[in-house]
Amino acid sequence: MSRLSVLVRTALRVNFGWSLLTSGQLLRHKRDWWLVPLILLGVVGLVPTMIYYIKLIKFLYDSLVLVGQTAAILTMGVLLGQFLILVFGLYYIIAAFYFSRDLALLIPLPLTPTQVMLSKFTVILVNEYLTIAPLVLPILIVYGLLSRKGLVYWMGAVLVYLLLPVIPLAIGGLLVFGMMRVINLSRKKDALIIIGSLILIAAAIGFQFWFGQRATGNEVDPNALVRFLSDPNGLVQRVGASFPPSIWATKALAYGLGASGLANTALFSMVSLVLFLGLLIASKKLFYEGLIGLSETSTAKRILSREQIERGVSSGRRPVRAIFLRELRLMNRTPIFLLNGVLAVVLIPALFLIMAKAGSQPEGLGRLLSLVQSGNPTVAILAAALFMAVCGGLNGTASSTYSREGAQFWISKVIPVSPTDQAKGKFLHSYAVVVLGLAASTAVLAFVFQMKASLLLAALVLAAPAGVVMTAVGMMIDLARPLLTWINPQKAIKQNLNVLLAFFADLGMIFGLFLLTRILRRLGLAGVAQIAALTFILLVMAGLSFSLLLRFAEKRLPQIE
Amino acid sequence: MIEYRQVSKSYNKGAIKAVSDLTLTVPPGEIFGFLGPNGAGKTTTLKMTVGLLRPDAGTIQVDGRDITREPLACKAVTSYVPDTPAVYDRLTGLEYLNFIGDVYGVARQDRLERIDKWLQIFDLASAVGNSIQSYSQGMKQKIVLIAALLPAPRVLILDEPMVGLDARAAHHMKEMMREHCDRGGTLFFSTHIMEVAERLCDRIGIIHKGRLIACGTMEELRALDRREQTLENIFLELTDR
């Protein structure tokens, strides 16, 4: 067996075998049975979401049949997958290529940089297949079934799905190689990694919008509209303009063995191959250049005077504050944690800002929202609260709070701080991140969507306790089964199954509230009464979940070995 | 004081017996050295003493309190140094010491005096303002040791404390251990260095396959087998059975 295949197999086993089997051994112990309701809550959230998603795909397909442009739905799927991989894959690449702890073991081994890079790349690739599956596979399957496609389509779909992450990951990899090579020369490496990653992500998003706008031209030009409607691929071209590989993939699937199908299959495969080879060649030269010495802190040694030490020494017994400060410092100073946790909450609002600057969809959404605001303020408040809760609450900070401690977890076990005080400190930190997300989303709603202050305030009153529930539930899930044996910090937060479980549980809660709202409306309650009832319920849920968290911490923390 | 009464611990649902029926008392003012081959149960015993692991059977009392029933009271008088200094490497040395001071509730003046003293002794004053990430392995071991000493604990539990320390730091470490016990503190540590155990410990325990197979002063251990005069030979003889 070649060295490369041994390396790749080991990397896959470490990342998927052990972690998913050992940390994924749900319900193995009796004490895990309390997770059943949470999993059910997750299923309650996931199943209707998938059903609505499939219904939406079918609705879009039926609408596109009328203009004979059903293939555009494939473009949407491929584009969605590739866009997510390009933006979020950057995090994965930086974490896996440069921050895995096993790199210190791999570098001294007789392996080439390309072999090490390939093993990491394979792990990311497999991860991406799993990540985009719930979004892209339903589109490929629904299209195939509704169009009554034959074997050629399904074979093409497998090929397209397998190649789908290659182009964005290769582009991301090349960008990251360049960035890390430069950063490794500098002194403030951690800060530059964070700034550089943000610039790369903003550039990736901005470029796609710019490309899309430039290619599609003026929206209201009647001639362009006629051309766009009469061309069977008009919509495909328009949707895929921001990332042409999605157009090639669409045509490869839609035209199968026809000339256009074969040509586009060849084009899509060749570009994937060329970019992948480019990554291999670049890794030979750039990978270790950016990696070796990255953990060195070349900043000037800061020698503290006796007076500075005296000033820096705190006093008294303040366990909750100490835990809060520890969480804040460790999260903000670890680039991977900061990017995936804290900055994730401002990413969605930032996307809306970029789109607004590019003059894209939000204007339309803004017009819609202003109509809703004047016509049905209750709906506007609920929509705004949902947006705030999603931006603030759907991040991995709370659901990785114990896992992030990793090998340092022994400290939390031996210090004389009660599990409840530790949970309070951690809760304060996780909720501070939620508050950041609430602030960012409120700013977007106020400045981009011009939402009225009174409606914003009402939405905040709903979203703030929802954030408490989401934080407490996330912390409880992580406390139930903390993942402490990670070697790559990405595994503690982004690839942590607890984060996914918490995400499902949050979706379940949102779905439950959605059903509740419908019931309140059917009861004929006035808008204000609906909001008041929801606020009351959320406040009760927040109080209950927080108190449950403290009780669970008291019971569970001593059990973790 | 630390008291173990019929303490047992196993892993893998009883398949691996790590510690078996351990009964032992370490009185105040005593340096107790724990010896044993790799996997004998030393670290498991120490981890149970500080609450990192829970015994399957038996009780452990620290300063007269049960670690399982009153963990906070036990932890408030205990400091622990693990065998590998896994510490928050994104904090500066001073931030880590402050964290420990805050959670143990060390008064400001005591904090200042002790930090100053131990930083000088372990020659870490010039690095305390820097991120622990930039420390060498030995420096990390030193900052964990200083943090353990900061609350002036009555009970010190040290797992292989000499590993990673340079000769000067190891010398200061041994002096500190003696001073700690001379002031009435209890010290329980594990080591593989026979010479250290022989010269430093008031009593030595030898654990093998989870069982305490010998325990006593150097003279008492020598009396077990008149042919063997060094601790190393006694250790090899006992653990070879």
In tens, the pLDDT along B61-117 reads 999 999 999 999 999 999 999 998 889 989 999 999 999 999 999 999 999 999 999
Statement: residue A269 has pLDDT above 90 = yes
Poorest-confidence range of A86-100, A404-418, B185-199, B225-239?
B225-239
Lowest mean pLDDT among A297-306, A380-389, A526-535: A297-306
Residue at A548 is within a domain: no
- Residues on chain A bordering chain B, Cβ-to-Cβ distance under 8 angstroms: 295-297, 301-304, 306, 308-310, 312-319, 321-323, 325-326, 329-330, 333-334, 407-408, 410-411, 413-418, 558-559, 561
| H-helix or E-strand spanning residue A319 | helix A319-333
Closest B-chain CA to A425: B103
Q: Is residue A349 part of a domain?
A: yes
Q: How many CB pairs under 8 A join A and B?
A: 118
Q: At what angle do helices A419-447 and A377-393 cross, to 10 degrees?
A: 130
Measured from the Cβ of residue A447, the count of other Cβ atoms closer than 10 Å reads 12
Cα nearest neighbour of B74 on chain A: A416
Q: For residues A541 and A472, is the Cβ–Cβ distance under 8 A? A: no
Nearest C-alpha of chain B: how many angstroms from A329?
7
- What is the per-residue pLDDT for A23? 46
Range of the domain at A165: 49-218+229-301
Residues A356 and A273 in one domain: no
pLDDT at A141: 93
In a shared domain, residues A245 and A284: yes
Q: How far is A308 from chain B (nearest CA, A)?
A: 9
- Same domain? For A417 and A283 the reply is no
Identify whether the C-beta of residue B104 lies closer than 8 Å to the C-beta of residue A411: no
Confidence (pLDDT) at A299: 54
> Rounded to whole angstroms, how far apart are CA atoms B193 and A502?
48
> Which of A389, A473, A471 minimizes the C-alpha distance to A430?
A471
Q: What is the pLDDT of residue A372?
A: 62
Could you tell me if A202 and A120 lie in one domain?
yes
User: What confidence score (pLDDT) does residue A20 get?
Assistant: 46
Whether A290 has a pLDDT exceeding 50, the answer reads yes
User: What is the pairing mode between strands B31-35 and B57-62?
Assistant: unpaired
Q: What percent of chain A has pLDDT over 90?
A: 33
ipTM of the complex: 0.91
Percent of chain A surpassing pLDDT 70: 83
**Is A391 part of a structural domain of the chain?**
yes
Question: Does A362 lie in the same domain as A297?
Answer: no
Reduced to 3 states (helix: H, G, I; strand: E, B; else coil), residue B3 is: strand
How large is the average pLDDT for residues A391-410? 93
What CA dihedral angle connects B82, B85, B88 and B94, to 10 degrees? 100
Six-digit token string for A515 = 């059903």
Helix (H, G, I), strand (E, B) or coil at B92: strand
Confidence (pLDDT) at A90 = 80
Bridge partners of residue B7, in order along the sequence:
B22
Give the pLDDT score at A87. Answer: 77
Chain B hits for A309, CB-CB cut-off 8 Å, are 94, 112, 115-116, 119, 125, 128-129
Which has the closest alpha carbon to A96: A286, A293, A336, A289?
A: A336
For chain A, what's the residue count? Answer: 561
- Tens digit of each residue's pLDDT (9 = 90 or more) over A137-185: 999 999 999 988 888 899 999 999 999 999 999 998 998 888 888 877 7
B223 in reach of chain A (CB within 8 A): no
pLDDT of residue A79: 85
Rounded to 10 deg, the angle between the A151-163 and A245-254 helix axes is 160
Contact between B103 and A302 using a beta-carbon 8 Å cutoff:
no
Question: Which chain B positions have a beta carbon within 8 Å of A558's beta carbon?
Answer: 51, 54, 71
The rounded distance, in Å, linking the Cα atoms of B100 and B103 is 5
Tokens encoding A204: 């990736």
> With contact defined as beta carbons under 8 Å apart, do A67 and A235 qualify?
yes
- Collapsed DSSP state (helix, strand, coil) of residue A561: coil
Instruction: Please state the pTM of the whole predicted model.
Output: 0.81
In a domain, A492, yes or no: yes
Q: Cα distance from A121 to chain B (closest Cα, Å)? A: 27
Residue B60: beta bridge partners?
A: B4
Type and span of the H or E element at B81? strand B78-81
Q: What is the largest CA-CA distance in chain B?
A: 55
Please tell me the predicted confidence (pLDDT) of residue A213.
Answer: 62
pLDDT at A459 over 70: yes
Q: Is A472 exposed, middle or buried, given 0-12, 13-18 or 19+ CB atoms closer than 10 A?
A: buried
* Contact at CB, B52 and A414, closer than 8 angstroms: yes
Which helix (DSSP H) or strand (DSSP E) does residue B2 occupy?
strand B2-11
Taking CB atoms and an 8 Å limit, are A297 and B99 in contact across chains?
Answer: no
CA A510 to each of CA A445, B20, B99, B240: distance values in angstroms, whole numbers, following the listed order: 20, 51, 38, 64
Q: Which residues on adjacent β-strands are paired with residue B220?
A: none
Q: Is B19 helix (H, G, I), strand (E, B) or coil?
A: strand
Below-50 pLDDT ranges, chain B: none
| A208 lies in some domain | yes
Residues of A in contact with B126 (CB under 8 A): 301, 303
Nearest to A184 by CA among A255, A287, A108: A287
B150-163 exposure pattern, b = at least 16 Cβ within 10 A, e = fewer: bbebbbbbbbbbbb
pLDDT at A247: 85
CA distance B16 to B74: 28
On whether residue A408 sits in a domain, the answer given is yes
Nearest-10 crossing angle of helices A189-216, A166-183? 140
Instruction: Measure the CA–CA gap between A385 and B80, rounded to whole angstroms.
Output: 47
Range with the largest mean pLDDT of A258-262, A459-463, B10-14: A459-463
Asked if A558 lies within 8 A of B71 by C-beta distance, the reply is: yes
Residue B16, beta-bridge partner list: B11
What φ, ψ does residue A264 adopt, rounded to 5°?
-70, -35
Q: What are phi and psi of B197, to 5 degrees?
A: -60, -45
User: Which pLDDT band, with edges at 50, 70 and 90, does A101 fall under?
Assistant: confident
Of A121-125, A172-176, A356-360, the least confident: A356-360
The pLDDT, as a whole number, for residue A47 is 80
Domain end among A484, A502, A520? A502
Q: Which amino acid is at A522?
A: R
Contacts of A523 (CB under 8 A, 6+ apart): none
Do the Cβ atoms of B98 and A312 come within 8 Å? yes
Q: What strand order describes the sheet that includes B31-35?
A: B78-81, B155-159, B186-190, B31-35, B203-208, B211-216
| Same-domain status, A321 and A208 | no
* CB A430 within 8 Å of CB A330: no
Same domain for A309 and A255: no
Q: Evaluate whether residue A522 is within a structural domain.
A: no
Are B108 and A326 in contact (CB < 8 Å)?
no
Pairwise CB contact (< 8 Å): B130 & A297: yes
Mutation target among B67, B95, B102 for the A interface, most CBs of A within 10 A: B102
* Three-class DSSP category at A213: helix
Enumerate the β-bridge partners of residue A21.
none
In the predicted structure, residue A537 carries a pLDDT above the cut 60: yes
Q: Range with the lowest mean pLDDT among A219-223, A416-420, B123-127?
A: A219-223
**Residue finishing a domain among A286, A301, A316:** A301
Q: What is the pLDDT of residues A490-509, one digit of tens each?
A: 788 877 888 888 888 888 88
DSSP at B142: H
Residues A70/A235, Cβ–Cβ less than 8 Å? no
Task: Report chain B's C-alpha Rg in angstroms.
Answer: 18
Domain end point (choices A248, A281, A301):
A301
Is A258 in the same domain as A340? Answer: no
Residue A375 burial (CB count, 10 A): 9
Please tell me whether residues A288 and A318 are part of one structural domain. Answer: no
Q: Which amino acid is at A126?
A: V
Does residue A281 sit in the same domain as residue A397? no
Our count of domains for chain A comes to 2
Same domain for A247 and A385, yes or no, is no
**Strand locations in A21-76, DSSP E?**
none
The counts of H helices and E strands in chain B are 9, 10
pLDDT value of residue A100: 79
What's the whole-number average pLDDT of chain A? 83
Is there a contact between B146 and B111 (Cβ–Cβ < 8 Å)?
no
Determine whether the interchain pair B103/A319 forms a contact, defined as Cβ–Cβ distance below 8 Å. Answer: yes
pLDDT bucket at A28, cuts 50 / 70 / 90 = low
- Coil, helix or strand for A495? coil
Same domain flag for A258 and A353: no
Residues 137-176 of B with CB under 8 A from A: none
Q: Output the CA–CA distances (angstroms, integers) from residue A467 to A80, A226, A388, A457, in the order listed.
A: 28, 47, 9, 15
Inside any domain, residue A122: yes
Find, among B62, B40, B135, the residue nearest to B95 by Cα. B135
**Parallel/antiparallel/unpaired status of strands B211-216 and B203-208:** antiparallel
Chain B closest CA to A498's CA: distance in Å?
23
pLDDT range class, residue A9, cuts 50, 70, 90: confident
Residue bearing the bigger pLDDT, A254 or A54: A54
* Minimum-distance CB partner of A410 among B78, B86, B116: B86
Average pLDDT over residues A86-96: 81
Look at residues B42, B24, B4 and name the one whose alpha carbon lies nearest to residue B161: B42
Amino acid at site B1 = M
